[in-house]
Chain A
Amino acid sequence: MEQVIMNQLSYPILSTLIFLPVFGALLLLFARRSWELLTKWVALTISIATFLLSIPLFTNFDKSTYKMQFVERFSWIPDWNINYYIGVDGISILFVLLSTLVAILCVLISWNAIKTKVKEFYIAILLTTAAMIGVFCSLDFFLFYIFWEAMLIPMFLIIGVWGGPNRIYATIKFFLYTLIGSVMMLVGIIVLYLYAGKTLDILELTTKTYPYNMQLWLFWAFFAAFAVKVPMFPVHTWLPDAHTEAPTAGSVILAAVLIKMGAYGFLRFSLPLFPDASRAMTPAMLALSVIAIIYGAVICLGQTDLKRLIAYSSVSHMGFVTLGIFALNSQGLEGGILQMLNHGVVTGALFLSVGIVYDRTHSRQIADYGGLATHMPIYAAFFMVFTLSAIGLPATNGFIGEFLIILGGFTANKWAGVLAATGVIIGAGYMLWLYQRVFFMDINKKVIGLPDMDIRETITLIPLLILVFWIGVYPNSFLSFMHASVQHLIERVNMPGGMQEVNIAKTLMEVVR
C-alpha cells in the first residue's frame, strides 16, 4: 500500500526550495562586509527565485488525493533507519508557499531598517527560510526535529542581535520556552521510535495503533512542544516579548510562520498519532482555545504598545485556530488551516505595517501617533484593509476562517462556538480603537511631515492585500487543497484502533468518489 506519490516534476522541487536559501546563505558568507547593497540584492534574488520555484507546487498539486506528493526519499543514516524523506500534502503545501512568500517580504522590509551586520542578518533570514520550508516538508521525524530546532538558532540571533532595547531578555525567554517544549517532544519521538520497531517514518507511524495510556502521555509530551509554539494559554508570555523586541522581519517570521508550526504539529502529529487521546482531550483543548480567544482579546484592550497589541491579538487568533483543529470536523479543521494562512497573511501584514511607521518614528507607543491618515493616506488605506481582515469582515480572508471555525466549533460543542463568537466582538473593539488612536483624531506633533509609503514598502504589502481579498472572495482556490487531506485526517482520528487495511481501501474509495 503505497501512501505517497513520488515527485512528478523534472527537478527535485522540495529539496530545491530547502537548499536554495542555504546556498544563498553560503554565497553571502563569502561576501565582503562592505558589499551591503550586493548582499541585499543577492538575498532578494534568492528569495524571489525560491518563491517562483515554489509555484509549480501550487499548480501541479493533485487535489483529489490525501497522499503525500512531490516526495523525495533517500537513505541517510541506514543503521538507525533515518531517511531524508520529504513531501507535501494538502495540509502542508500552503505553508510552504506562505514561507517562500514571507521570505521575500522580510528581505524587502529590512532593506533600510537593518544597518548593522547587514550580511549576517540576511544569512539568518535565508537560513530561517530554509528551516521553515524543511519543517513543513519533513516526513521523517529525525529530519523534522532537526529543522524544528534549526529554526530556533537564526531566530534567536535575529531577535538577540537586531532587536530592541530589551532584546536579550526576550530572546533568551523565547529560546528557553520553546526549547523546553521541544525537548519533551524529543522524548516522545524516541519512545515512538522504540515502540514502533525502530522507524522514524512519520507516515508509517501514523498508521500504527498505540495503547491508550501511551497515547495519553505522548499527547501531552507533544502538546508541550506545540502549545508553546502556537502559543496557547497559559504558555503565551514569550510571544509579546519576542514580538515586541524583534526587528520587523523577525516579528513577521514569528507571526506568519513560526507560530504556525505549533498548530501544524497538532495536525500532522498529535491528531493522527494519538487519535484516541486527541478525542479524549478535546474538552480540555477546546476550553484552552476559548480561554485564549477571550483572554487574548480582552488583554489587547489594555495595551499601549503597537507591537504588543498585535502580539496579543495573535494569541486570540491562534485560539481560533486550535479551536478549529480540535473541533475535529471538516469545517473546523479546514477553517483552522485556512485561519493559519490568514493569520500569517494578516498579522504578517500588520507587523510589516507597524515596521513601516517604526522606521520613521522609532516609537511603538500608540500614544505617539494620531491623525496619521492625513499624512499617510495610502498607508492608512492598507492598514484599514488588514484591520478589517483581522476583525473578520466578510469578503476578507478573516471572515472565511473565523466563520468556518465558529461553525465547526459550534458543531463540536455549542458553548465553545458561542464563546468564541464573543471574541469577534472584542476583536472589533480593540482593532478599531487601535486604528482610531493611530490614524484618526488630532494630528500628533510627532507624526507631522511623515512621508507616505514609498514604492518598496507598497510592493511589500501588495501581495498580502491581494491575498486578503482573494481568500475572502474565492476561498475555494485554497480550501480545495485541503479537502482530501482533511477528510483523511478526520477518518483517522475517528477510527478507534487505528487504520486497518480494509479501512484504507474504504477511504480510498471515498476519496476517489
Chain B
Amino acid sequence: MEYYLLIPFLPLAAFILNILLGKEVFREKAHWVSILAVVGSFIIAVATLFDVISGKTLNEDLYTWIVSGTFKASVGFLIDPLTAVMLIVVTTCSSLIQIYSIGYMHGDKGYYRFFAYMSLFTFCMLMLAMSNNFLQLYFGWEGVGLCSYFLIGYYFHKKSASDAGKKAFIVNRFGDFGFGLGVIIVFLTFGTLHYLPVFNNMTGIVGKTVHLLGFDVSLVTLIALLLFCGAVGKSAQIPLHVWLPDAMEGPTPVSALIHAATMVTAGVFLVARCSPIFNLSEVALIVVALTGAITALFAATIALVQKDIKRIIAYSTISQLGYMFLGCGVGAYAAGIFHLYTHAFFKALLFLCAGSVMHAMGGELNIQKMGGLKKYMPVTYLTFVLGSLSISGIPGFAGFFSKDEILWLAYSSPNPVGKFVWLLGTIAAFLTAFYSFRLIFLTFHGKFRGTHEQEHHLHESPKVMTIPLILLSIGAIAAGWVGIPHLLGGGAHFAEFLKSVLGHPEAHGTHNEEWMVMGISVIVGLSGIGLAAYMYLARTDIPVRLAKNFSSIYRTLFNKYYVDELYSFTIVRPTLWTAKNILIGFTDAKIIEGIVNGVPRLIGKFSGMLRKVQTGLVHHYATIIAAGAFFIIALAILLR
C-alpha cells in the first residue's frame, strides 16, 4: 500500500506548480495541473478502498516532525475503513467540482490562483483524513481553514468577501482554542499523540477527575468536550455557526467543495475518529447530540425565510451537519459518517446547481428576482430537483437512507436525550423539505421576475458544468444504496464496513417502531414538499401575508436570530473599545508613559531650579562660599 502517499502529495505538487508557474506558464490551462493531480488521487483512493475492503489496514509514520524532551510528534498515516470513506468522498467531490470550475471560473483573472488553492485545500483535507495522530490532524485542520480563508476572500477587492474570510478564520480560531488544549491534555495524559495508543489506553483514565474552577470534572469528558469545541467551529454548529453563511462570498465551487462536501464535515470526522473517547463519556455524548439536534432545527428555521440562494443552502448545510452530530451523539457514528457521505453528493450538487443558476443570471443571488428558469435550464432544473428530493429524505434517494438511519438510531438509543433529539430532528426534516422546495419553486417555477436584460441572457450552462451535475445527481440518488437497512431487505453494508472502527450502536426497539419512525420521516418529508407547493405554486399570497402578520417572528428569522449583532455588541466592539480607550489611551499613554516621561521631567525641573544658583556673578559665588564655609565650620564645632 506504499502508493497511498501519492494521494495527498499529488495535489500538493499541483499546488506548488500552479502557485509558482501558473501565472506565467500555465495561465488559462492551469486547471489541467490541478485536475490531473486530483483525478490521480481519486484513482489511487479507489484502489486503496479495495485494499481496505480486502482487509488491509495501515498505520505508519513517515518522519518525526517535532521532538522536545519527552514530547514527540510525527507525520504519519492511518488507513482504515473510516479513512477510506473520507478519501473517496474528498477525491470524488474535489475532482468533479474542479472539472465544473473550468466552466464556472472561465475567464477569471485569478484562474491559476483558484486552482492552486483548490489543490492546496485537497492536500490539507487528505492529510487531515489520513493522519494517524492528533497533531497532524491539527495541521490539516488549520490548513483547510487557511484555504477556506483564501477562497472565501477570493474576490478580495470586495470588502464583504475579505470580511467573510477573516471572520471564518477567527471564529474557527475560537473553536481551535479548545481543540488545541484538548490535544495538549491528551499528550499530558497519555504521553503520545498517536491515535491507537491513546484510544487503547482510554479506559484507563475513566473515573479520573481534574479540578477545574471549583468543580471536579471527569478527565474523559474534559478531553472529549475540548476536542468537540474544534468540531463546533469547523462544522459551524451553534454557537460558532456564524461564519458559514458569510462564507458564501466565495466562488460557488468553493462553497460546494469546502463549505458543503468536505471541510465542514471535518468536525464530524473528528468526533467519529475519536469515538473511543466520546463513548466513555455520557455527558460528552449528550452535549454532542443536543448541539447537533438544536443546530439542525435552528438553522432550518432560518433557511425558511432567506432570499439569497446560496445562503439558504448554507443554512441547510449547517442543519444537515447538525444531523451528523446528532447521530454521533447517540453513538451512531457510522450513521453520522453515512450521512456525511451522502450529504457530500447531494449538497455539492445543490451548490453547483445554484452556481449554474447564478452563471445564467449574471451573478444574481436573490431568488425573489428569479422564477420560471426551468424552461431555460432543464438539466440544472432536473438535477436540482433530484438533489432536493435526496435532502428531503424521499425513499430511494441517498439522503433518505442516511437520515432515516440517524433518526431511527436516535429514537431507539439508550441515550436519555435520544427521543428528544429524534423529535427535533424530525421537525427539522419537515422544515428541510419545505425550504428546499420553496427554493425550487421560487427559482424555477412561475414567472421570471428579473430584468429584461437578465431574461435575455438566460441559458443552460456548458457541458463542462452540466456533466458534473449529472454525475453528482447519480450520487445523490445511488450513493445511499450501499447502506440500505436490513428492514428494507438491504445489507447495511456501509455500517458493517465501518464497524471495526466505529462499533455498532445499541438499538432498543421493535421492527414496528422502526417502521413507524421511517413512516414518520417519509410523511414529514412529503408534507414539507406539499406545503411548499401549496404556498409557492398555488396560493402565492400566503407567504406575503404570513410575513406581515407574524412580522416579529419573520424579522427574527430573517435576521438570523440576531446572533451576529449579539457577538458584535458583546465581543467585537468591547474588545476594540478596550484596546483604543483603556490600553492605548490610558494604561500605556497615561500610566506607564506618565512615569517614564514624568520622572525625567521631575529631575529636569529640579535641576532647573538648582541651575539658577549659577548666575555667573562673582559676588553671588563669594556669598555662597562664605555661607558654605560658615555652615561647615558651624557643623564641625557642633559635632565635635
Residues of B within 8 Å of A, CB-based: how many? 50
A424 touches B173 (CB 8 A): yes
Chain B residues closer than 8 Å to A381, beta-carbon distance: 19
The one of A236, A331, A374 in contact with B71, judged by C-beta atoms closer than 8 angstroms, is A331
B67 at the interface (CB under 8 A from A): yes
A393 touches B146 (CB 8 A): yes
Chain A residues 320-349 with CB under 8 Å of chain B are 329-331, 334-335
Q: How far is the CA of A329 from the CA of B163 in the complex (A)?
A: 40
Q: How far is the CA of A393 from the CA of B596 in the complex (A)?
A: 37
User: A-facing mask of B18-49, CB < 8 A → 1, else 0?
Assistant: 01000100000000000000000000000000
B184 touches A442 (CB 8 A): no
Chain A residues closer than 8 Å to B169, beta-carbon distance: 428, 432
For the complex formed, measure the closest distance between the CB of A313 and the CB atoms of chain B, giving whole angstroms. Answer: 13
B578 touches A298 (CB 8 A): yes
Chain B residues 119-146 with CB under 8 Å of chain A are 135, 138-139, 142-143, 146
B616 at the interface (CB under 8 A from A): no
B579 at the interface (CB under 8 A from A): yes
B180 at the interface (CB under 8 A from A): yes
Q: How far is the CA of A330 from the CA of B139 in the complex (A)?
A: 22
Q: How far is the CA of A374 from the CA of B158 in the complex (A)?
A: 12
Chain A residues closer than 8 Å to B143, beta-carbon distance: 393-395
A374 touches B157 (CB 8 A): yes
* CB closest residue in chain B, given A380: B156
Q: How far is the CA of A439 from the CA of B65 in the complex (A)?
A: 33
Q: How far is the CA of A124 from the CA of B68 in the complex (A)?
A: 38
A81 at the interface (CB under 8 A from B): no
User: B-facing mask of A267-302, CB < 8 A → 1, else 0?
Assistant: 000000000000000000000000000010011111
Q: How far is the CA of A109 from the CA of B108 in the complex (A)?
A: 35
Q: A441-B156, A476-B64 are in contact. Are A406 and B180 (CB under 8 A)?
A: yes
* CB closest residue in chain B, given A384: B150
The one of B138, B156, B580 in contact with A302, judged by C-beta atoms closer than 8 angstroms, is B580
Give chain B's interface secondary structure class: helix
* CB closest residue in chain A, given B187: A407
Q: How far is the CA of A410 from the CA of B173 in the complex (A)?
A: 18
B68 touches A479 (CB 8 A): yes
B501 at the interface (CB under 8 A from A): no
For the complex formed, measure the closest distance between the CB of A479 and the CB atoms of chain B, giving whole angstroms. Answer: 6
B159 at the interface (CB under 8 A from A): yes
User: A-facing mask of B38-74, CB < 8 A → 1, else 0?
Assistant: 0000000000000000000000000111111111000
* CB closest residue in chain A, given B600: A176
Chain A residues closer than 8 Å to B520, beta-carbon distance: none
Chain A residues closer than 8 Å to B174, beta-carbon distance: 425
B170 at the interface (CB under 8 A from A): yes
B166 touches A436 (CB 8 A): yes
User: A-facing mask of B146-189, CB < 8 A → 1, else 0?
Assistant: 10010001001111001100100110011001001100110110
The one of B142, B580, B592 in contact with A234, judged by C-beta atoms closer than 8 angstroms, is B592
The one of A301, A407, A476, A483 in contact with B184, judged by C-beta atoms closer than 8 angstroms, is A407
Q: A330-B68, A432-B169, A475-B65 are in contact. Are A299 and B157 (CB under 8 A)?
A: no
B157 touches A404 (CB 8 A): no
Chain A residues 426-462 with CB under 8 Å of chain B are 426, 428-429, 432-433, 436, 439-443
A400 touches B66 (CB 8 A): yes
Q: How far is the CA of A456 from the CA of B106 in the complex (A)?
A: 35
A388 at the interface (CB under 8 A from B): yes
A306 at the interface (CB under 8 A from B): no
A302 touches B583 (CB 8 A): yes
A441 touches B67 (CB 8 A): no
17 A–B pairs (Cβ distance < 8 Å), ordered by A: A298-B578, A302-B584, A330-B68, A330-B71, A334-B69, A373-B156, A394-B143, A406-B184, A411-B188, A421-B177, A421-B181, A428-B169, A436-B162, A441-B158, A442-B159, A480-B67, A483-B67
Sorted nearest first, the 7 A-B pairs with minimum C-beta distance are: A330-B69, A302-B579, A440-B162, A394-B139, A302-B580, A440-B156, A301-B579
Query: Which B residues contact A (CB, under 8 angstroms)?
Result: 19, 23, 63-71, 135, 138-139, 142-143, 146, 149, 153, 156-159, 162-163, 166, 169-170, 173-174, 177, 180-181, 184-185, 187-188, 575-576, 578-580, 583-584, 587-588, 592-593, 596, 600
